[in-house]
Amino acid sequence: MAAQQTTVSINLFGTGCTIVCGTIQNEYWKKIQQEISNNNLLLEQFMASENNLRYMDFQGLKTWKDISNEFSISGMTNSISSTIELKLGDSKKTNIPFREISQQEILFPVYASERSNKTLASESVYHSKRLIMVETEVGKLGTIKFSADDFSIDKLVFHITDVKVNETISYIVLGKITYAGKTLPFAKRDTLVTGFYCLK
């Protein structure tokens, strides 16, 4: 009997974030500080404008997201509004609160998930300056659509990372979803930026 093909649609709604951590050369950092001082800006104001780093003409740095040579993650964050909408073929949509996945019992999980931890270092290193930048957002965080033979919910795995930014700030981030071991790409984002900050 031929395998039944199912079209799977996944939409992610709610709160999200992008976190990057990396180092830049002290030479670049001094030029950024000078530019901030000359224009009476905050570091966040300088980094948030996409044209500023392009204007500085630093090799390999076009936006703040390029300062990610140590760590980078983007995805849904754990909040009361974060929901994963799952639809199989013509069936009715199922709404799964992200908290149901991130807080489910380890011994008897309803949904398959993989959990990891990441603590970001804030200390600078020799000849370079370490920066941590976080952008928060809200809205439609992405859409996934794929076809599967004999779809099984057990093969759908939610990859969650507990990111500790510093002693007081941490995020639970759904950064990736896989099916049968393959990463499912996100598309069709439509979000509003709600915050941006830098730690140095």
User: Within 13 Å of residue 139, how many CA atoms lie on the same side as its CB?
Assistant: 10
Cα 94 off chain centre by: 23
Q: How confident is the model over 89-114, as pLDDT tens digits?
A: 888 899 999 999 998 766 677 899 99
Name the DSSP class of 175: E
Name the DSSP class of 86: E
pLDDT at residue number 107: 60
Are 69 and 23 in contact by the 8 Å Cβ rule? The answer is yes
Residue appearing with tokens 């915050």: 195
Give bridge partners of residue 63 from the DSSP assignment: none
Are 140 and 12 in contact by the 8 Å Cβ rule? The answer is yes
Domain extent, residue 104, equals 5-199
Name the DSSP class of 2: P
Give the span between the Cα atoms of 14 and 65, in whole angstroms: 22
Q: How confident is the model over 21-75, as pLDDT tens digits?
A: 999 989 999 999 999 999 999 999 999 988 888 888 888 889 999 999 999 999 9
Q: How confident is the model over 143-162, as pLDDT tens digits?
A: 999 999 989 999 999 999 99
pLDDT at residue number 59: 85
Give the span between the Cα atoms of 28 and 47, in whole angstroms: 13
How far the first Cα of the chain sits from its last, in Å, is 60
Residue partners of 195: CB distance under 8 A and separation at least 6: 134, 135, 136
pLDDT at residue number 3: 61
Mean of the per-residue pLDDT values for the chain? 91
Are 178 and 184 in contact by the 8 Å Cβ rule? The answer is yes
For the cut 60, the answer to whether the pLDDT of residue 184 exceeds it is yes
pLDDT at residue number 56: 86
What's the total number of domains in the chain? 1
pLDDT at residue number 176: 96
Q: How confident is the model over 2-21, as pLDDT tens digits?
A: 567 899 999 999 999 999 99
Tokens standing for residue 113: 């998930």
Give the span between the Cα atoms of 71 and 25, in whole angstroms: 17
β pairing state of 5-25 and 71-77: antiparallel
User: Within 13 Å of residue 122, how many CA atoms lie on the same side as its CB?
Assistant: 10
Give the span between the Cα atoms of 138 and 148, in whole angstroms: 30
